[in-house]
Structure 1
Amino acid sequence: MREPADMKEPEDLELRDKQQAQVEAANALLFLQGQGRDPIQTQTPKEDRPGPETPSSPPSAEDGDSEEARDANFARGSKRGRVAVKEEESVGLEEALGALQNENQSLREALEKMSLSESSLRNDPEKVRFYTGLPNYYVLETVMWLLAPHMDDTTKTSPKNPMRLSKFQQLLLTLVRLRLDLRHQDLAYRFGVRLGTVTRAVRRAVDVMSSTLVPTAVFWPSRAELRKNLPAAVRAAHPDCAVIIDFFTVSLERPPTDPPHGDRPGRAGPGGNTLKYLIGVAPQGVVTFVSGGVAGDVGDKTLVEGCGFLCKLLPGDVVLASHGLDIGESVAARGASFKIAGGGSERGSAHSLLGHVEKVIAMVRRRYAVLTGPVESCFASDRSAFDKVVQVACALNNLCISAAPLE
């Protein structure tokens, strides 16, 4: 017995809807792969849908053209999407690159401030004074200009030339050594070189400054120059004063294997481990003479007579000192006179003079701590090298002070 026709129709419609949905899903998948039609465009009204047994008609030429146009539009849309993504990525990369560049610049500036270089010192006079003792970068640059022709450029290394320091670095390293009395190993770490490199650089720079800078800055002025610039306080009491002298000592650093003084033959006494220097200061306040160092237990007369000081005196010159020295006859033999300042009516002006020379000596030693001792063994073993250090320190100090009248 057959079922009524109206009972079967809903099931047929449901089956056709399911098949149509499968067709549409297949077309959508093909469209996404660039091979099928737009599922939205290919939908037909429900009443025009063919049944499952009706074959679909072949696509017309117009349908083909539309399909190609849709594919082209889809490709263009995809391309625009890719371009937009790339532009966004490019903008993001540029922003990240800019941030990295700014950070890099900040780190460079911070590193530059912490480093010891020409650029870090050029606009920082406080840093120049702290590390070199010189008043500003202009004076440092002037010293560099004076020394550069006599220095070796060691930035290019070779088996015969293992150093890696420019001329400026050699000078700066040496000034830091004299100024702060840093050990050579410390300087090797600071400048990133070997210990031997530091020792050679300091020795060479000191040699160059001793032969070039010292004769320029530490010299005995002519009598005419002395009297022309004589401070009023000195002119009133000692118009013929040529120099004010005093002594200072520097202790030596003993090697670890060195026995105490009492156990060393020929070196007994407290002066056996010190160097003694005679220093002469013009009334204007500049150092005009500095002797070589001798053992600290040597007498004052022996030092004065053996260091070449007396050869500087002219007949009529007056030599002042703060205490009695057994050098009167030696000075008189040159036609000059030796006076002990501080007696009678001269007490006030003489006290000022002696305080002045003591101030100069203290200034040199304060400005270049290497003179306070103890002298590092690398210099203590070669006293002629340390004599050059003392002379160089006095020359550098002369560059820092003015010849202002002593009132």
Structure 2
Amino acid sequence: MTDLAYRFDISQSSVTNIFHAWLDALYATLGGLVHWPETDVCQLPEVFQNEVFRKVNCFIDCTEIFIERPSNLKARAQTYSNYKRHNTIKILVGASPSGCITFLSSCWGGRVSDRQITTESGILDKLLPGDVVLADRRFNMTEDFALKGAQLIVPAYTKGKSQLPKEDVETSRMMSRARIHIERVIGRLKDFEIIKGPLPINFVKRKSDGQVTCGDKIVRVVAAIVNTNDVIL
């Protein structure tokens, strides 16, 4: 904001007002491009054209965005990510096999677990009986998905096993190939400079429950733009 104010020879408050006005307009106009479809109407990538994965309609993962270090000690603790060793916000991303972002959670403090953000984000309420979801083994919540009549597929656990059965080895190999898709989707999302962070604290501060923060709007607008790209095959 300071740099833009200097470049255009206007006050920083004017830059801030213009930025937020345009962000609100983009959020209202483009936000609908991120939506949960009834079916995946795009051509399925080759990796999903097999007996195991042909019914997959979504894969999920979490991603984190760096933020400035909060001065409030409670907020600092809630946003500190042990994985990133930095204060972050965490978002659950859901994508179709064709690489379209179909779900975004609200921004949470980086300390939140993958399980909590999944159960409280509302994505489970969108699942229908028979839906199949792919995820990393961190998402150890098969029963939560089963209660919705959906199936969660994660890579086989190797802890305590000298050797995996042949079927698990083959499934894990296909899982690794399929995982590349969600990594490429998140890579497209985080290719935007503003997403790389660190975001200012006032962009992610939530004054009340249910409030859409500036950070939430930025992530959704960027995701909407990502969805205008070509299909990932």
TM-score, with structure 1 as normaliser = 0.48
Q: Relative to structure 2, which stretch is displaced further, 375-384 or 284-293?
A: 375-384
Larger relative contact order (CA 8 Å, sep ≥ 6): 2
Distance 2:37 2:26 in 1: 20
- Per the alignment, residue 389 of structure 1 pairs with 218
State the one-letter code of the partner of 1:246. Answer: D
Shift of 1:346: 2.2
Q: State the Cα distance separating 1:227 from its structure 2 match.
A: 6.0
The AA in structure 2 aligned to 1:306 is E
Give 1:71-150 correspondences, 5 Å limit.
none
Structure 1 equivalent of residue 201 of structure 2: 377
Q: Distance in 2 between matches of 1:385 and 1:265?
A: 20
Structure with the higher fraction of residues in strand conformation: 2
**Aligned residue number for residue 364 of structure 1:** 189
Label 1:242 to 1:296 Cα distance change in 2 as closer, same or farther (>3 A).
Answer: same
- 2: CA distance, partners of 1:326 / 1:403: 29
Distance 2:197 2:128 in 1: 35
Q: Are 2:114 and 2:138, in contact at CA under 8 Å, matched by a contact in 1?
A: no
Higher helix share: 1
**Over 6 Å off, 4+ runs:** none
Alignment of 1:303-318 (within 5 A): 303-318=117-132
Output the TM-score relative to the length of structure 2.
Answer: 0.82
- Root-mean-square deviation over aligned CA pairs: 2.2
Change (3 A) 1:266 1:233: closer
Q: 1:381 to 1:266 in 2, by over 3 A?
A: closer
Match of 2:30 in 1: 213
In structure 2, runs of 5+ residues without a counterpart are: 157-167, 207-211
**Map of 1:152 onto structure 2:** none
Structure 1 distance, partners of 2:142, 2:14, is 48
In structure 1, list runs of 5 or more residues that go unmatched.
Answer: 1-183
- Residue 350, structure 1, aligned to residue 175, structure 2: yes
Tell me whether 1:191 sits opposite 2:8 in the alignment.
yes
- Rate the CA distance shift 1:390–1:266 in 2: closer, same or farther, 3 A: closer
Which residues of 2 match residues 3-402 of structure 1 at below 5 A?
184-215=1-32, 217-223=33-39, 226=40, 229-236=43-50, 237-254=52-69, 258=71, 264-265=73-74, 267-268=76-77, 270-271=80-81, 273-341=87-155, 343-366=168-191, 368-382=192-206, 384-399=213-228, 401-402=229-230
| Paired residue type of 1:250 | I
Give the structure with higher Rg (CA).
1
Q: Separation in 2 of the partners of 1:321 and 1:333?
A: 17
Deviation at 1:301, TM superposition (A): 1.4
The one-letter amino acid paired with 1:304 is T
Contact 1:231 1:283 in 2 (8 A): yes
CA deviation vs aligned residue, 1:225-277 (integer Å, no higher than 9, x gap): x166222320213111011111111121136xx27xxxx25753733832111
Q: Specify the code of the residue in structure 2 equivalent to 1:357.
A: I
CA shift in 2, pair 1:305/1:198, >3 Å: same
Quick one: which amino acid aligns to residue 139 of structure 2? L
Contact 2:204 2:213 in 1 (8 A): no
1:273 match: secondary structure: strand
Q: Contact 1:290 / 1:391 at 8 angstroms: preserved in 2?
A: yes
C-alpha distance 212-354 of structure 1, shift in aligned 2 (>3 A): same
Q: Compute the displacement of 1:294 (Å).
A: 0.9
SS in 1 for 2:227: helix
1:73-106, Cα deviation, whole Å (9 max, x unpaired): xxxxxxxxxxxxxxxxxxxxxxxxxxxxxxxxxx
Count matched residues.
211
